[in-house]
Homo-oligomer: A and B are copies of this chain.
Amino acid sequence: MSTHARLDQQIGFIVEIDRLKEVLRQSLLTQSRRRENSAEHSWHFALLAVTLREYAPFPELDLLRVLKMILIHDLVEIDAGDTYCYDAAGNQDKALREQCAADRIFNLLPLDQANEIRSLWDEFEAQATPEAKYAAALDRVQPVLLNYHTQGQSWREHGVTLAQVLERNRHIEAGAPALWAYVRELIDDALAKGWIKR
């Protein structure tokens, strides 16, 4: 492949992923209270990983791999959309929709890079390595922070219960135990304030 053809593929990928900025999540921003999109979520999430590194119980953590994983983790939503974590029906076919999306979007890149990004995404999804466990924990911490700092609006809108929140966020403990203790305090406070149902 000529350098120019390779660069054309890379730029094609870069232009395509601009679409992630149009995919909306359930979280609200603390100021305008508009819904967050998946691109800005990914940025915020990456800065959580930089800032909270010391709470990962893995001394050998490869932070560069964590950041790459975070930056690409939501790209599949360009085709598959964001599936709200408490949407049982939507979550049934989520895996299939996301696999198809990964096949299309990652393969816009030259093969070596498509393979690298696919392997990072598979690693993130499997949550087996220290890097993926740490990233998966922060991917839950970030929306809890936004939810808490918007008076629990998205929990309230969906009538989310304590059991659901605990089930959803419990694995924070595996990737960042000290952060789980912190998040538990926020959840308890949100419960006391009536933002989460018993």
Cα A160 to Cα B63 in complex, Å, equals: 40
The one of B20, B64, B178 that contacts A7, using a Cβ cutoff of 8 Å? B178
Known: A50-B68, A178-B7. A30 touches B44 (CB 8 A): no
Q: Of residues A18, A43, A63, which shows the largest number of chain B Cβ atoms within 10 Å of its Cβ?
A: A43
Bound together, the chains give a CA A73 to CA B18 distance in angstroms of: 19
Q: Which B residues are CB-close (under 8 A) to A52?
A: 10, 14
Q: Does A109 contact B (CB under 8 A)?
A: yes
- Say whether A48 faces chain B, with CB atoms less than 8 Å apart: yes
Stretch of A32-40, A86-94, A95-103 with 4 or more beta carbons under 8 angstroms from chain B: A32-40
Q: A148 — nearest CB in chain B belongs to which residue?
A: B15
Residue A21 interfacial (CB < 8 Å): yes
| Contacting residues, chain B, for A7 (C-beta < 8 A) | 55, 178-179, 182
The answer, yes or no, to whether A17 is at the interface (CB within 8 Å) is yes
